[in-house]
Structures are given as structure tokens and as C-alpha cells.
Homo-oligomer: A and B are copies of this chain.
Amino acid sequence: MNSQLIDRLLKTIGKANVLYSPEDLAVYSYDGTFAEGHPDVVVLPETTEQVSQVVRLAAETRTPIVPRGMGSGLAAGSVALPTGGIILCLTRMNHILEIDKENATVRVEAGVITADLQSAVEKLNFFYPPDPSSQRHSTIGGNVACNAGGPRCLKYGVTGDYVLGLTVVLADGQILRTGQKTIKDVTGYDLNGLFTGSEGTLCLVTEVLLRLVAKPRFAKTALAEYDSLVDASRTVNAILTAGIVPASLELMDQTAIACIEEAMHMGLQTDVAASLIIETDGTDEQTVLREIEAAARICQENGARSVKMARNEAERGNLWKARRSISPALARLAPNKMGEDITVPRSAIPEVVQRLRTISTNHGLPIAIFGHAGDGNLHPNILFDKRQPDQWEKAEKMVGEVFAASLAVGGTLSGEHGVGVMKRPYLEGALGPLSIEIQRKIKQALDPLNILNPGKIFPDKAQP
């Protein structure tokens, strides 16, 4: 990149909103993965209009733009790979613009932290359900880019189920507003749906209009422990078939449980094969209670060794603390991990877990498994030590085998993280060449100069 472009950026959006010292650039070279990609410049626009100006400059100079929120992504979608270019970081666009109580909607800038949005609406007894584990350090714009999920999405749906409208900057710098405060809309193509989950490759999202629901006033949580993972999986189906839709239905395997217990000393039984955390919620306490009791009965009928009900908020908080501590706790077993988010048909959970164990045994590296079992969305975490080159190599090989295992049982690569850079080599195996061809055509139609997050999602054409 020539210094002329930086000069023009400085003139366009002001010195305070442009970073280009090596130290500053280094900060924006990473995300939640091992990937590293150095941008040429970082811009921190404060308005949609500024984003538009940056895109016009980028289009004129054919400079890649990589949109970014808090950089918590798990697929390297917001790292300036492989091309460098402009990191367009939206964290300064962090205003909640309007909470419409009558229509139960909220309009926010893309850089708002998801948890901040949630607290703001909860004060008014509304609820924004999607709860990616990163909710305290990820932005709603990033959530929209990846169509993020989370434990509560079993009952409540994912980010895209809440998007009513978007303000986006297109590849030529034009500003497009989609949608409005209506729940239903079939007027033309569903651009909200197309843009959500497109990982910044079709347009840059600067504002989001979201629908809200009423805040559930009661929640009940239970922990069911199993001697057999197949029994735990069977329980998941039995609960859903019975017409109970828990807010969350989380699975943890023995490796994950052992890690938590070692780190937290919570009194979890570490000899169990699997545990389920089940939560029901709603506005009527009796109903919530009846549902968790019915779920607990189903656990017992399906072979649970024990079912413990959280008796109060403190006990409930502990169960969720355990679930949320898995990722940090894994660090006690190995210095590094690669966490994936394969999604399989629910019935295939036992088989895919068996396949993951075989992969682990074959390569001699542990895989901890946990995730949103109700959605079939599992997080196999390969544990290794990056300093040992053979482990790093093995781990990379294992990732490929994890994806192959998911596809073999009718699953897919990603339920909530997106493709980014990391899953590109596996995309054709998952979708086939024709789907990729169609998607490339859409990309080409909307971003003919290929300046919006190039090198993401799609495999290089030369690549096998």
C-alpha cells in the first residue's frame, strides 16, 4: 500500500480514526485463532458515511477491506489474510440508537458489544436471546457477519432470526437500508438473510435493527450425569420429541468435565461419560418448573446416573460457570487448543463422538467435546502443545479429520463460527462445486472488484 492512500484516509476520516504505526497494526493482526495477518492500515470510522467514504477510496485503489469488530472470531474472518489492506474496525460505532418499546425492536450500531445490548434491553424487560460465548467481547456486527449462535439458540434461534433490518455499505460505497420494524416481509429477495452470515464478503454492516422478545422471568436448570454418552444423546431427542423446548441443552463429555473439575473443584463426578445441562425458562414460574421436572424425568428414563436440580440462583450460576469455564479450563490439560463447531443431525451425535474419539486415539492427542447438543452443534477441541512441531502438525491433520467425520454423518463444517480463512480448504467437500459456483456468482455480482474481505469463505480457485 502506498502512503498516498493513508494520506487520503487521514484527510477523509480524520487523524484520530486512522492507525498505521507498526505497534498499532500488530494489535489488529490477530483474532481468536492462530492466524496472523498484518494490515497496511486500520481505520476506525464513527459513522456509516465514513465507512462509505473508506469503501469508495478502497474501490478506487482496489484495496482489500477487512471488516472487524472485537476480533473474537474463531475462523480468522477478520484477520487481514492473505492480502493485507485496510482493517475497517467498527468498535467506535458502538451506540444503541433506539429501543422501541411498543414494537419490541432495538436499533444499534454494528460495534455495540452484544452483552451491552442485552443489558440495555433487559432493563426494560426485553430480551435479546442469542448468546455466543463471546457475548462480553464480541460485537453485534460480528455476530451478524457470522450468524452467531449460543446455548440459548435451541429455543430462541440464532442471530439471523432477530435481524429485521440492516444498514450496509455496498462494495461501491453506496449505502443500502434493508427491512423495517415488521416481523414478516416477503417484498423481494431476503437480503437480510443473504447478508447475515456472509462474513463481510458481500457488504459491510454498519447498523442493525433487531427484534426483541419479552424477558423470561424464571429459569430452572438441571445437571444430568450419564455413564453412557449414547444415553445422554438419546435423552436430547427424547426431551425434544416430548414437546419440551428447553432454553439450553448442553452436552459435555468426560474430558471436558474432568478439565472443569480440575480447574474449579465444583464436586462434579469425573468418572461419568457425559453430562447434560438443561435449562428451561419463561414468564410463568409454574410452567418453567413443570418443564424442568418433565425434562428431569426423561433424563432418568433414559439412563441418567443422577439428575441434580439447581435449588437456587447460586447453584444455577455455578452450573453455568462450569459450562462457561470449559474453554479456559482446557488450558490445564494442554497449552493450546483448536476449537471447531461442527453441526450434525441430532441422531448422529453418538456416532460422531465415537469418530472423534477414534481420531483422538489414532493421533494420541486429546479431544474435549462439548456444545449445544439440542442443535447438534458440537465443539470438539483438539488439545496440543504448539511448541512441539509434531503436535502442531498432528492437530492440523486432525482438524481435517474432524470435518470429514461431521460430513460423513450428514453434518456440516460450522454451526456458528463461519468459514473465514480456516475452513476454506474444506468448503468444497461440504457444499460441492456447484453450490460454491453459485455463491461465487453472487459474490461477483455484488463485489465485482473483490475488495470486500477477499480470500475469505471461498477456496482459492487453484486450490484442490
> What residues of chain A have their CB less than 8 Å away from a CB belonging to chain B?
100-105, 125, 146-147, 149, 153, 157-158, 160-161, 170, 174, 176-178, 180-191, 193-194, 196-198, 202, 213-217, 237, 240-245, 282-284, 286-287, 290-291, 294, 343-347, 372, 375-377, 410-419, 423, 427, 430-432, 434-436, 438-439, 441-442, 444-446, 457
Contact = CB atoms under 8 A, between A and B. Distances in A.
A103 B189 contact: no
Contacts of A105: 345
5 contacts: A182-B375, A183-B343, A187-B423, A188-B419, A214-B240
A198 B189 contact: yes
Given A188-B439, A287-B287, 8 more contacts: A100-B347, A103-B347, A180-B345, A187-B431, A188-B430, A191-B438, A214-B242, A243-B282
A193 B159 CA distance: 14
Contact of A174 (B103, B170, B182, B434): B434
A410 B180 contact: yes
Contact of A153 (B158, B184, B187, B446): B184
A215 B241 CA distance: 9
B240 A343 contact: no
Kindly report how many copies of this chain are found in the complex they form together: 2
A418 B343 contact: no
Contacts of A294: 284
A189 B190 CA distance: 12
A283 B435 contact: no
A283 B186 contact: no
A359 B254 CA distance: 67
Contacts of A283: 242-244
Contacts of A423: 187
A243 B245 CA distance: 16
Closest 9 CB pairs of A and B: A243-B283, A193-B193, A214-B243, A102-B347, A184-B415, A445-B445, A181-B345, A441-B445, A287-B287
Contacts of A375: 182-184
Query: Which of A181, A245, A294, A441 has the most CB atoms of chain B within a 10 A radius of its CB?
Result: A181
A251 B418 CA distance: 41
B376 A188 contact: no
B427 A190 contact: no
Contact of A439 (B181, B189, B243): B189
A446 B316 CA distance: 51
A182 B214 contact: no
A54 B187 CA distance: 28
B413 A187 contact: yes
A253 to B, nearest CB: 20
A430 B165 CA distance: 14
Listed residue (A188, A346, A412, A436) with the most chain B CB atoms within 10 angstroms of its CB: A188
Nearest to A343: B182
Contacts of A438: 170, 176, 191, 446
Contacts of A442: 189, 194, 442, 445-446
A93 to B, nearest CB: 21
